Amino acid sequence: MTYLLLFLEFAKISLVCVGGGYASMPLIQASVVDSYHWLTLPEFIDIFTISQMTPGPIGINAATFAGMKIAGLAGAISATMGFVTPSIFLCIALAKIIFKYGELGAIQGILNGLRPAVMALIAAACIGFVLLAVWDVEDLPQDFFSSANPIGAIILIGALIAARKKISAIKLLIACGFAGLILGNLF
């Protein structure tokens, strides 16, 4: 039953996941952390982090890792197939529509309306991740400055600066991992 539920949950996420893998993260979190309590938020953040570091689309990687954590290899297969299956059919259908009617104002209007929604989903996920990375909480802390983890804040600021300077994502992840290892052991 768990395998079917994993398949259906990730299929549902895939159906409404507009904007790629990053936009799927708050939806996956809502399902596996908030609704079913299969994972804790720190476990989910770890899965999100690993999903970014491994080759392939982040949404599919997250589904695979979450399924594996929840129900082993069969869970990984169920979650991954659930995430991928609707996308295959939606992509084929949308490709036909866009190639045939893509120049219509209604199609362009829909796409223009979806872009801000996708950015809102990504921003909401980012805010939650920053709170967990710097304050180790899910909601904004009342003692904002005094409860911040200085190591997390330093790494976050350094990573933002490096990302703005177009440092490769792989180099950035490796550097931040080493910084966390070194700073975590020093302090």
Which pLDDT belongs to residue 170? 87
User: CB of 19 within 8 A of CB of 122?
Assistant: yes
Element at 46 (helix H, strand E): helix 41-53
Structure pTM? 0.68
Calpha distance 87→90 (Å, rounded):
5
Which pLDDT belongs to residue 77? 97
State the residue for tokens 């953040």: 45
Which pLDDT belongs to residue 19? 66
User: CB of 164 within 8 A of CB of 156?
Assistant: no
Calpha distance 105→111 (Å, rounded):
10
User: CB of 65 within 8 A of CB of 76?
Assistant: yes
13: Cα separation from own chain's centroid? 12
Sign of the alpha-carbon torsion through 29, 34, 37, 39: positive
Calpha distance 86→100 (Å, rounded):
21
Calpha distance 128→115 (Å, rounded):
20
User: CB of 95 within 8 A of CB of 110?
Assistant: no
Per-residue pLDDT tens, the chain, 187 aa: give them: 899 999 999 999 998 886 677 778 889 999 999 999 999 999 999 998 899 888 888 899 999 999 999 999 999 999 999 999 998 998 899 889 888 887 788 888 888 898 898 888 888 888 888 998 898 887 788 887 888 999 999 999 999 999 999 999 889 989 999 999 999 888 7
User: CB of 173 within 8 A of CB of 52?
Assistant: yes
Calpha distance 19→4 (Å, rounded):
25
Task: Please return the burial class of 10, using the count of CB atoms within 10 Å of its CB with bins 0-12, 13-18 and 19+.
Answer: buried
